Amino acid sequence: MFWTRLVSGIVLLAVAIVTIVLNGPLLFAVLLFISLVGMFELYRATGIQKNGVNLLTAVSFAAAAAFYIMVFLGLKDLYLPVLIAGLIADLFVYVFTYPRYHADEVMTAFFGIAYVAVCLSSIFQIRNLPGGEFTVWLVFLCSWGSDTFAYCAGRLFGRHKMAPELSPKKTVEGAVGGVLGSAAAGMIYAACMIHFMHAENVRIPVYGLICVCGALISMVGDLAASAIKRNHDIKDYGRLIPGHGGILDRFDSVIAAAPGILLLALIFG
């Protein structure tokens, strides 16, 4: 299992590096694919999609794709209208097929658009900001990086359970190690960008602060995804990624960290 996870992790990292460096249509296509698969996993886990795609989920997939197209075209004024149109489309399905779907299923369908597609699209938006070729990597330092630091710190120093009902193995000490490790990694990364890439707009303390905030947000994202699984009595969201599970199992912290980093990047310029 360890070697399977390691190989899968290396492949994921390689795909992330290639797609983010090349940017453009490739990054757009990969993120859209990941988002649609993640939504599919969420809908299957919550039970609104049992035997293939139904009308409610199909409309939600279409709304997510429409939102991504707006992001790709940079039509920021249309982001919110497209999201609202997706909600209205779900309500149309709810009303005109009543009583096929319950209200909680309609809410979950729209939640999938916002939680998976909109949040993951933040990676594309960060990449296309001024200096985004540097800033975008903070998403992964704050999510996958903090996971690694938290795991190591938890194994070495973990004593106090952080959220025993959600994730019995996570500890307060591990969380602190994850945050501090991410902050250190962010500042080292910033120093390297300044020294080797002559990135004049990169500020070391700001990158450290962003990584502290991003690591905290990513931990909440991880636990939130675990809570959804426990609510629906499942172990993994899928089996797409050997050793890791599904898209949501591997990208749960990224989903939360990406919009957080986008917001912080806009605040700090």
Task: Kindly list the distances between the CA atom of residue 133 and the CA atoms of 137, 193, 197, 232, 249, in Å, as whole numbers in the listed order.
Answer: 8, 11, 11, 38, 26
pTM: 0.93
Q: What is the pLDDT of residue 82?
A: 97
**Paired tokens of 35:** 């988002």
Q: What is the pLDDT of residue 3?
A: 65
**Per-range mean pLDDT, top range of 88-92, 129-133, 189-193:** 88-92
Beta bridge partners of 167: 163
Q: What is the pLDDT of residue 220?
A: 94
Has residue 6 got a pLDDT over 90?
no
| DSSP code per residue over 79-146 | HHHHHHHHHHHHHHHHHHTTTSS-HHHHHHHHHHIIIIIIHHHHHHHHHTSTTHHHHTHHHHIIIIIH
In whole angstroms, what is the distance from residue 115 CA to residue 118 CA?
Answer: 6
| Contact (CB, 8 A) for 104 and 75 | no
Q: What is the domain partition of the chain in residue ranges?
A: 1-23+131-269, 24-127
Instruction: Report, as an integer, the average pLDDT of 79-103.
Output: 96
| Contact (CB, 8 A) for 223 and 143 | no
Band the pLDDT of 2: cuts 50, 70, 90.
low
Which of 61-65, 125-129, 141-145 shows the lowest per-residue confidence on average (mean pLDDT)?
Answer: 141-145
Has residue 72 got a pLDDT over 90?
yes
Question: What are residue 48's phi and psi, to 5 degrees?
Answer: -85, -5
In whole angstroms, what is the distance from residue 143 CA to residue 92 CA?
Answer: 37
Instruction: Report, as an integer, the average pLDDT of 159-167.
Output: 85
